[in-house]
């Protein structure tokens, strides 16, 4: 059986967990948390990284940090995971859903300006499959209309964007804030886990407070204040050292994990070209300004019938592709709240996109062989 995903272990996870337990410091913000955060800050140049219990939580922290209030509007793609929207809905925001690009599930930046009103507070681009959104256009709009940009970089670790100025930046380093995920389906995993990264320094001090249940405990431990207490709203957003130890074993192997995943992706892309052409199936597109980080390999079928047939055929051969993202604008929770605009590209990806198995230990040739037989 070839599952859709299989979590890869580097072998050091339990060693670091044991070390964390033996150290006597197993609550959050200890040695391994700091190692993980420093890794993100040094490798990708984020001004501050805070380890969180999930990407969902990192997004919720971002919504608190930019002071989302009842009635504010936040623009997000409809083709995304619920957490992108929920984080802002929890603070009372109205979600304004944007359509995808015709050739990529990412938000169509050229159509965003018409969605901006005097109530718009933020744009939340999702770098789908770890492929960058058109960030120059999004950042220009944000600057012009005084909006915050929160990058949903859940799938986007170690992926890059090259702007019009020719400068290459890691995803997550462009907006004011960004959120990464270490869910077991992502490239780098911790079971459940995430990271809030901060590029706009004005948010650093308050982020630490929100992270530590609304207290200034982080400043206290650094000796900056002589007692700590309740200074703001917040929650328990930091994971234990047990999670951080696991994550550290993964981050140490980032280069290797990425190389293997990207190799699988390249093999899929190369070997399925002809089959896709012959069957009118679309391959994933990577715009010139973006890189591929080997997070996801997907195909875009002509219609839902073709997709269903492909999935059923592969399942009968014990290979388990999946489809995802029922458009949020037509979800049971939001359809009555949506403004009624038709989001045709989003709907097409909802109906036609299929994700092929992609994980470290995958036998990619076996999947390809079976697809070619369909
Ligand atoms: C996985 C994912 C999330 C949620 O991440 P968790 O760490 O599971 O909370 C959010 N947004 C996108 C686009 C994702 O792919």
**Is there a single domain that holds both residue 262 and residue 229?**
no
**Is there a single domain that holds both residue 316 and residue 221?**
no
Mean pLDDT computed over 153-164 = 98
Gap between the Cα atoms of 13 and 9, Å rounded: 7
On average, the pLDDT of the chain sits at: 97
pTM of the predicted structure, to 2 decimals: 0.98
- Residues 97-106: pLDDT tens digits? 999 999 999 9
Residue 274 resides in a domain: yes
Question: What's the gap in Å between 54 CA and the centre of ligand 1?
Answer: 8
**Is there a single domain that holds both residue 322 and residue 220?**
no
Q: Is the CB of 183 under 6 A from ligand 1?
A: yes
Residue 8 resides in a domain: no
**CATH number of the domain where residue 350 is located:** 3.90.1150.10
Ligand 1 pocket test target in 77, 81, 106, 324 with most atoms within 8 Å of CB:
81
Mean pLDDT computed over 297-311 = 98
Domain containing 357 equals 254-372
Mean pLDDT computed over 170-182 = 98
The predicted structure's pLDDT at residue 71: 95
Question: Pick from 235, 251, 267: which residue ends a domain?
Answer: 251
- Residues 222-242: pLDDT tens digits? 999 999 999 999 999 999 999
**Is there a single domain that holds both residue 319 and residue 357?**
yes
**Is there a single domain that holds both residue 282 and residue 196?**
no
**Is there a single domain that holds both residue 245 and residue 265?**
no
**Is there a single domain that holds both residue 186 and residue 283?**
no
The pLDDT-based confidence of 374 (bands split at 50, 70, 90) is confident
**What phi and psi values does residue 310 have, to the nearest 5 degrees?**
-65, -45
**Is there a single domain that holds both residue 76 and residue 88?**
yes
**CATH number of the domain where residue 195 is located:** 3.40.640.10
**Is there a single domain that holds both residue 92 and residue 147?**
yes
Residue 2 resides in a domain: no
Question: Pick from 206, 227, 251: which residue ends a domain?
Answer: 251
Counting the structural domains of the chain, the total is 2
Atom of ligand 1 nearest to the CA of 83: 10
Question: What's the gap in Å between 154 CA and the centre of ligand 1?
Answer: 5
The predicted structure's pLDDT at residue 124: 99
Question: Pick from 227, 251, 275: which residue ends a domain?
Answer: 251
Mean pLDDT computed over 7-12 = 98
Residue 7 resides in a domain: no
**Is there a single domain that holds both residue 270 and residue 247?**
no
Question: What's the gap in Å between 22 CA and the centre of ligand 1?
Answer: 31
């Amino acid at each position: 059986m070839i599952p859709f995903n299989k979590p890869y272990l580097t072998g050091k996870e339990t060693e670091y967990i044991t070390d964390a337990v033996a150290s006597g410091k197993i609550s959050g913000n200890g040695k391994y948390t700091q190692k993980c955060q420093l890794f993100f800050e040094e490798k990708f140049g984020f001004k501050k990284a805070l380890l969180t219990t999930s990407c969902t939580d990192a997004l919720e922290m971002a919504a608190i940090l930019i002071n989302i209030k009842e009635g504010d509007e936040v623009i997000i793609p409809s083709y995304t995971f619920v957490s992108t929207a929920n984080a802002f809905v929890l603070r009372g925001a109205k979600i304004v859903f944007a359509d995808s690009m015709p050739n990529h599930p990412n938000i169509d930046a050229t159509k965003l300006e018409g969605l901006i009103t005097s109530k718009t507070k933020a744009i939340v681009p999702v770098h789908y499959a770890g492929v960058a959104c058109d960030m120059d256009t999004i950042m220009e709009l944000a600057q012009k209309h005084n909006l915050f940009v929160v990058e949903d970089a859940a799938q986007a670790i170690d992926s890059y964007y090259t702007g019009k100025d020719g400068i290459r930046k890691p995803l997550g380093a462009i907006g004011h804030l960004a959120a990464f995920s270490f869910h077991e389906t992502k490239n780098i995993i911790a079971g459940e886990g995430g990271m809030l990264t901060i590029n706009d320094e004005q948010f650093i001090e308050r982020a630490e407070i929100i992270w530590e249940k609304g207290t200034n405990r982080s400043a206290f431990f650094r000796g900056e204040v002589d007692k700590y207490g309740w200074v703001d709203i917040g929650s328990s957003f930091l994971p234990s050292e047990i999670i951080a130890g696991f994550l550290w074993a993964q981050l140490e192997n980032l280069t290797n994990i990425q190389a293997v995943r990207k190799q699988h992706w390249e093999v899929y892309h190369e070997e399925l070209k002809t089959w896709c052409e012959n069957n009118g199936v679309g391959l994933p597109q990577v715009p010139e300004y973006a890189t591929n980080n080997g997070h996801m390999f997907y195909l875009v079928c002509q219609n839902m019938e073709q997709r269903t047939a492909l999935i059923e055929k592969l399942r009968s051969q014990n290979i388990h592709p999946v489809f995802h993202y029922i458009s949020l604008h037509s979800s049971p929770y939001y359809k009555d709240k949506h403004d009624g605009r038709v989001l045709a590209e989003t709907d097409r990806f909802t109906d036609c996109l299929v994700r092929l198995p992609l994980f470290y230990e995958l036998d990619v040739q076996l999947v390809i062989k079976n697809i070619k037989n369909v």
